[in-house]
Chain A
Amino acid sequence: MTGKLDLDPVLVARARELARRAGQPVVDLARSHTTVSVERAVLRLAGVTGADPDGIPWVNRLVDAVVADVGLGHGVAVPVFDALAREQISDVTLLAQKAAAGSVRFAVPSGKAATAARRAARRAVGAGVRLVDRRRAERDRLVKRYGDPARRPWIYLIVATGDIYEDIPQAQAAARAGADVIAVIRSTGQSLLDYVPEGATREGFAGTYATQENFRLMRAALDSTSRELGRYVRLTNYASGLCMPEMATLAGLERLDMMLNDSMYGILFRDINPIRTFVDQRFSRQVHARAGIIINTGEDNYLTTADAVEEAHTVTVSQLLNEFFAHEAGLADWQLGLGHAFEINPDLPESFRLELAHALLARELFPDAPLKWMPPTKHMTGDVFRGNLLDGFFNLVGAMTGQGILLVGMMTEAVVTPWLSDRDIALQNVRYVLGAAGGLHEDFVPAPGGFIRQRANRVLGEALDLLERIGDQSLLTAIAEGTFGIMKRPADRGRGLAGVARHEADYYNPATEILEGGRA
């Protein structure tokens, strides 16, 4: 503890222990199930690329073909590499094409054939993981060469035109104007697609489709801008929705630097099946850990649906759960961009002090995590003058509490997608506050026994109460009963449930084996 809030270390340890107890049954569940998206991610690591003429990726066609013959519970790696040997084909994508045409049958081999298939699968997937390793080493090299931003927080800006070729110059302009991190928002509804679209895309709804080619194009463009600016500009996308494991894998293969990846967002806000989400999430986080990607969690979303004062403790609980799941999957503290937001009604008396208390609580609880600080959205009314003032106070809280990643707030939030001038004014706001008060966190220590300390301790207490209540009944029950947000999401409902299977005794996943075991 750095001790600015005088938090009781016994209570903090207790909160972590309770989060572990709530999360462990979910981890056990994730370890004993697989999903179509996990298996597709394995095939992507094994080298299956491209899509059929209708745009359905070959990984989908291949997984569907395997599932039709032998089901999902054995994993697809062994049946696929067994078929590869029998058909005497060396290219997995070619096998996918043949399988889609119906000319290959899959089986679950035993004995020598099974051993050989496992070995071949592990070799192919190992090559994919080594590619991810190389990308990570490449990032380390480029960060060393161009350097990190001179100060914290990193300035995070969103680009979203729907057209990747329009996004690129906008992203480069944003980086030149001071953005350290560029996030490309996805097209609305992509999270509910059970496949990853292919190729460069030029039309999306309120965002740009996340595809491997779009990732590659944007990363290459930002590499050239990094060179020009002498500062490594990071790229962010979304590992959420039904294709979380594949998104994580593609991000690792194309050297994305951050990914949005929340443990419960898809369940609560997209009605994705809870088991599907937790299984997908664990695999995606293992990939992120390996790829050196920083995850951003989505606690800000709770506050846009619920009251930011009354429900402040649910943010803390979710952060603790996200931390537990992340550590369990192998992520280090520096990779945990735990989220929180400036969403208290500005008309409430002392709203700024409450914001400070909440933001500092997160900082003190997770001293080594690069917290992601999210701007006001709920109370942005279209009054752009008031909005700009509110964003200034948001930036000030960020500076006073040492946040790691600051998403730039737009005064035109809820009015239009940001104009060029809106972005410029927003960045001017950030630059002023960080320039004038960037080091204020060194001086800012709330008075002992004062309002801020009392409030922070109270929120921690409420978080403990909620964790105690979740306690022995497991997180799945709590989610089913509507503990988070107000949505009841039972484990046997929701999207993507059909793509979940319990492991058979001979389930084999070479990717998990490598990611949990170390060497590729």
Chain B
Amino acid sequence: MTVAAEKRIVRPYGDTTGDGMVQVSFTLPVPHDKRAEGAAVQLANKMGIDPAMLVHAKPMSDGFTFFVVYGRVNHLVDLSAVQVVERDFPLLSAKEVNAVVKQRLRRKLSVVGACIGTDAHTVGIDAILNVKGIAGEKGLEYYRELRVTNLGAQVSVPELVEAARRERADAVLVSQVVTQRDAHLHNTREMSAAFREAMPAGRRPLLVVGGPRFDETMTGELGVDRIFGRGTTPGEVASYLVHALITNRGAGA
């Protein structure tokens, strides 16, 4: 039996096993006075911190107060009840992605991206493809071993299929932000149908769609290989492409 399995119940650790000590900071929209400090302690108590030590209170801006609270939290953590959803592919760094493509594919991996239909919101596709990327993570253009063609906004499905053919796309990335009258779902179905019609199964690029309102479990229904939801990073997409097109190819599909 491993140590971790033995120790199912844990508490936060301050300086002694089992002391349950935590530190939190937060802001309340009230001016700084005795009542504000009492309010902060009340919040800490409701968070399960009891006794709560208010160690810092500072007025900020107009009518706000910032607090730092230390104290003993009475919650227990049951390690056996922890549930996590595992990604089904390993997350690789840009370097690792490049190395796998270079060694195993031995040519650049071609990615074609677009916003299809009337959707002019290139926010999503640009965040994934542009060098600038998002939240400090560079987009796919930054990856030396990926050849990225970003068609931009309002691309028609036939144009997309044609571009995918011309660029010998290994993967097609489509972003859909507008959801009026389920436009994102209609556009995606139209796109996947067009690729099915235009290319035989073995030659078809990997079809990936992304957008904030997609349900990630709808791949079968929409006829695509993968759906990415809100908050997806370029690194996740690149890792998935490498997984689906190179490292896992033949193993599953």
Q: Which residues of A are interface residues toward B (Cβ below 8 A)? A: 173, 176-177, 188-189, 192, 205, 268-271, 301, 304-305, 377-378, 380, 413-414, 419-421, 424, 485-487, 495
Contacts and interface: CB of A to CB of B under 8 A. Distances in A.
B123 A424 contact: no
B131 A189 contact: no
| Most chain A CB inside 10 Å of its own CB: which residue of B60, B64, B138 | B60
A188 B120 CA distance: 12
A424 B61 contact: yes
B61 A270 contact: no
Interface string B115-153: 000000111001100111001101001101000001011
15 contacts: A188-B127, A189-B123, A189-B126, A192-B122, A205-B123, A269-B130, A271-B141, A301-B132, A304-B136, A377-B136, A413-B136, A414-B135, A414-B136, A421-B25, A424-B61
Contacts of B153: 192
| Most chain B CB inside 10 Å of its own CB: which residue of A173, A205, A270, A421 | A421
Contact of A485 (B60, B126, B131, B136): B131
B250 to A, nearest CB: 32
B121 A189 contact: yes
B64 A420 contact: yes
Contacts of A414: 135-136
Nearest to B26: A421
A301 B138 CA distance: 11
B130 A270 contact: yes
A345 to B, nearest CB: 14
Contacts of A189: 121-123, 126
A485 B139 CA distance: 13
Contacts of B27: 419-421
B197 interface: no
B232 to A, nearest CB: 15
B66 interface: yes
Interface of B: 25-27, 58, 60-62, 64, 66, 121-123, 126-127, 130-132, 135-136, 138, 141-142, 144, 150, 152-153
Contacts of B58: 424
A487 B66 contact: no
Nearest 6 A/B pairs, CB to CB: A424-B60, A269-B132, A173-B61, A421-B66, A189-B123, A188-B123
Contacts of A301: 132
Contacts of B25: 421
A269 B153 CA distance: 17
A378 B135 CA distance: 9
Nearest to B150: A271
B60 A421 contact: yes
B85 to A, nearest CB: 20
Nearest to A268: B131
Contacts of A495: 152
A113 B132 CA distance: 49
A192 B66 contact: no
Contacts of A269: 130-132
B127 A486 contact: no
Contacts of B26: 421
A396 to B, nearest CB: 23
B123 A305 contact: no
B136 A270 contact: no
Contact of A173 (B62, B123, B141): B62
A487 B131 contact: yes
A413 B137 CA distance: 12
A419 B121 CA distance: 27
A378 B136 contact: yes
A421 B65 CA distance: 9
Given A270-B132, A421-B25, A305 B64 contact: no
Nearest to B132: A269
Contacts of A424: 58, 60-61, 66
Nearest to A419: B27
A233 B8 CA distance: 57
B158 to A, nearest CB: 20
Contacts of B150: 271
A188 B141 contact: no
Contacts of A192: 122, 126, 152-153
A313 to B, nearest CB: 20
A361 B134 CA distance: 30
A304 B138 CA distance: 9
A188 B126 contact: yes
B229 to A, nearest CB: 16
Given A420-B61, A420-B64, A487-B131, 10 more contacts: A173-B62, A269-B132, A301-B132, A413-B136, A414-B136, A420-B27, A421-B66, A424-B60, A424-B61, A495-B152
A192 B129 CA distance: 14
Nearest to B138: A305
Contact of A305 (B60, B122, B135, B142): B142
Nearest to B62: A173
B37 to A, nearest CB: 16
B253 to A, nearest CB: 32
